Amino acid sequence: MLQIKNLHVKLEEEDKQILKGVDLVVEPGKVHAIMGPNGSGKSTLSYVLSGRGGYEVTEGSATLDGADLLEMEPEARAAAGLFLAFQYPVEIPGVGNMTFLRTAVNAQRKARGQEEMSAGEFLKVIREKAKTLKIDAEMLKRPVNVGFSGGEKKRNEILQMAMLEPTMCILDETDSGLDVDAMKLVAEGVNALRSPDRGFLVITHYQRLLDHIKPDVVHIMSDGRIIKTGGPELALEVENNGYADILAEAV
């Protein structure tokens, strides 16, 4: 269970407050969606949870299954089950996709005291999962995200998620840049991972993703706070009317 309480975050370098008291609980088995205007702090929340530098938590807490996330190194958060599908996946020239993923899978296993996956087993599993996401073998050999199209990068994020089997998945605008068919593939990939002990936090601007990945709860974020929480109908309201009414109501 992901539990965020009164989280305040500012930039380390500047005196700029970005998150101004976020409260959020994501229970295992549930899908929560976060929507909200550009610049409201959605990506910042996902980065702070996964441990990216450059931010300072000035107040509040965030725990995963009771463990204090904010005290942990990024790799320890990952080993504890947290996964972020990046809004902008990073290109890493010179590091093969396959090498990268095998290193990651085995590092997490090691951190959890599990046995490492053999090269053969890894190859079998990744081929299978790549196939369902329509990622071809040639792409697996290429350097991480280098020369990938926008949609391919997003599918690669989902492949990583499928390989790492995290318990808390944060998807930051995974739908942006995807064509209709790719969106379906990605949604299927996510749905295949849905299970009673796995939670999802899906950041998106559009209802179309939520047509495929049905959320249990929808939150609206604005100016560093969750200003409204509701059921799936809230996303439809945003889709139809935009944020104006919701923002006005919150003031």
Pick one of Mg ion, ligand ATP, another protein, none as the site partner of residue 51 (Cβ within 5 to 8 A by kind).
Answer: another protein
Reading the block at residue 53, the tokens are 């530098």
In the complex, the smallest distance separating the C-beta of residue 108 from another protein, rounded to whole angstroms, is 4
At residue 121's C-alpha, the angle toward residues 119 and 125, to 5°, is 115
Pick one of ligand ATP, Mg ion, another protein, none as the site partner of residue 242 (Cβ within 5 to 8 A by kind).
Answer: none
174 touches Mg ion (CB under 5 A)? no
Chain residues in the site for another protein (CB under 8 A): 50-53, 73-75, 77-79, 83-84, 86, 89-95, 99-101, 103-105, 107-108, 111, 143-144, 160, 164
Chain residues in the site for ligand ATP (CB under 6 A): 11, 18, 36, 38-44, 54, 87
Chain centroid to Cα 63, Å, comes to: 16
At residue 46's C-alpha, the angle toward residues 134 and 96, to 5°, is 40
Please enumerate in sequence order all residues whose Cβ is within 8 A of that of 50, keeping only pairs 6 or more positions apart, or say none: 74, 77, 78, 82, 84, 170
In the complex, the smallest distance separating the C-beta of residue 133 from ligand ATP, rounded to whole angstroms, is 24
In the complex, the smallest distance separating the C-beta of residue 103 from another protein, rounded to whole angstroms, is 5
Instruction: Give the DSSP letter of residue 117.
Output: P
In the complex, the smallest distance separating the C-beta of residue 82 from ligand ATP, rounded to whole angstroms, is 17
Q: Where are the alpha helices (DSSP H) in 80-179?
A: 97-111, 119-132, 137-141, 150-164
**Which residues in this chain contact Mg ion in the complex, by CB under 5 A?**
42-43, 87
